[in-house]
Amino acid sequence: MIEDLIRVAKRTEHIHYAVRDIIVLARQAQQAGTELLYLNIGDPGLFDFPTPPHIIEAICRALRDNLTSYAASEGLPAAIEAIREDAEQRCGIRAIQDIFVGSGCSECIEVALAALVDEGDGVLVPQPGYPLYSAVLAKLGAREQHYYLDEQRAWQPNVAELAQAIDARTRAIVLINPNNPTGSICDRATLEGILELAAKHNLVVLADEIYDRLVLDGQHIALGSLRDDVPVVTFMGLSKVYLGPGLRLGWAIVSGPARPLAPYIDAMHKFLRARLSASHPVQHAVAPALRGDHTHLKQALTKLRARRELTLQLLNSTPGIHCVPPAAAFYAFPRLLEETEDAGWVADLVRETGVVVVHGSGFGQRPGSAHFRVVYLPQEPTLRSAFTHIAEFAARRRQRRALAHGERPGPK
């Protein structure tokens, strides 16, 4: 019998995914008898945001018709055609050179990065930002280069700082717009600045626009609509806008100058062929989703507006917490004004109250600052209860700190 522990790959040391890693701690709290309130996962399906019936029906029909063979590696022609139409007509994306479908945006992102970077190459990723990019870059042995979003300017990327972070081996800029975890939307000048940098330094821009229609304030501009001479890979899918994260279907739209992009597109297709195809029956839902009824979106936005207002009101009335109003998606990223570290704060919050949020350090942030991410998808009573717990927890913590410093306790 083999008794030696199996030696695992070194690259696993750098793989973290805070959104789900926090569950381990939550389960321990639950076993100790604490009731949990989950504000950690951006999954509309866990709350009152059901997948639209015509999307479900399209998949059921495909299954009944026994459409369970492998699909083409790049995706079903009917799905690709509908994606092209949406990208050109609604988003205004120019110079589309290729479209492919994957098992969620996640797979498309992995293909786009794997076909682009060698070990040691650099990719600029936003801080805060969605942690999948860091995990994939760690897997590929590529270098994560950080650029910070500016909290004082509604979490806009700072283009001048971004420019400074570029070095001789930088290959791409990741832009998450609308952003997870901050819920911010980039303004036109920032987008133009990023495209200008990419053009100057010969970089590909990976534009993650998976929340593009979940906009509460302002307007989302598709990066690929602004120029046709910069290589842009835009990611979208069924997970968020179409309320079907478990369907695992996303797509990538490759736009920009044809000749420079040709080898990159070929390389991505090598990876696509090697993994066979995305789910065949689910792809039959893409055209009905994109071309069909969008009532669900209107309803979702109405609910999200009310829940965001409540979230802001309750968080911003808590001493020691300040939250920049999110403009899109369903996340808020409040700052802990009196803390310098957030992982311990979040762990204590879960243990003491059962409220599960994600520590800001799991998304990256300016050194010395502390934040946490909340998902405001739950219904108002759950949100109210969670934020009351958070306010009470924060007050206890302030009081303990004041006592430890021999001060009189501050306001509760």
Ligand X SMILES: Cc1ncc(COP(=O)(O)O)c(C=O)c1O
- Give me the residues that bind ligand X (CB under 6 A), please: 42, 104-106, 130, 176, 180, 208, 210, 237, 239, 245, 250
Residue 246 CB, shortest distance to ligand X, in Å, is: 9
Separation of alpha carbons 126 and 146, rounded Å? 6
To 5 degrees, how large is the angle CA 336–CA 44–CA 297?
110
Q: Which among 386, 389, 390, 360 has a CA at the least distance from the CA of 373?
A: 360
**Cβ closer to ligand X: 82 or 394?**
82
Q: How many CB atoms lie within 10 A of CB 400?
A: 11
Min CB(237)–ligand X separation in Å: 4
Q: Considering the complex, state which of residue 130 and residue 387 has its C-beta at the smaller distance from ligand X.
A: 130
Least CB distance to ligand X at residue 330 (A)? 10
For the bound state, the minimum distance from the C-beta of residue 172 to ligand X, rounded and expressed in Å, comes to 15
What's the rounded Cα separation, in Å, for the pair 302 and 305? 5
| DSSP states of 48-69 | T-PPPHHHHHHHHHHHHTT--S
| Nearest one of 47, 115, 86 to 291, comparing CA atoms | 86
Tally of CB atoms within 10 A around 158: 15
Q: Min. distance of Cβ 401 from ligand X in angstroms?
A: 34
Instruction: In angstroms, give the least distance from the CB of 42 to ligand X.
Output: 5
Of residues 409, 351, 279, 370, the one with CA closest to residue 28: 351
Of residues 245 and 378, the one with the C-beta less far from ligand X? 245
Are the beta carbons of 94 and 225 closer than 8 angstroms?
Answer: yes
Question: Which C-beta is closer to ligand X: that of 183 or that of 288?
Answer: 183
| Shortest CB 213 distance to ligand X, Å | 14
Among 254, 260, 178, 274, residue whose Cα is nearest residue 220: 178
CA 217 distance to own-chain centroid: 18
121/208 with CB nearer ligand X = 208
Q: For residue 227, what are the CA distances in angstroms to 28, 222, 230, 234?
A: 50, 10, 6, 13
- Which sign, positive or negative, has the C-alpha torsion 132, 138, 141, 147? positive
Question: Smallest gap, in angstroms, from Cβ of residue 210 to ligand X?
Answer: 5
Closest to 400 (Cα-Cα) out of 387, 412, 389: 412
| Shorter beta-carbon distance to ligand X: residue 29 or 39 | 39
Q: In terms of CB distance, is 29 or 108 closer to ligand X? A: 108
* Shorter beta-carbon distance to ligand X: residue 42 or 224: 42
Task: In angstroms, give the least distance from the CB of 105 to ligand X.
Answer: 3
Q: Which is nearer to ligand X, 296 or 397 (CB)?
A: 296
Write phi, then psi, for 340 (nearest 5 degrees). Answer: -110, -5
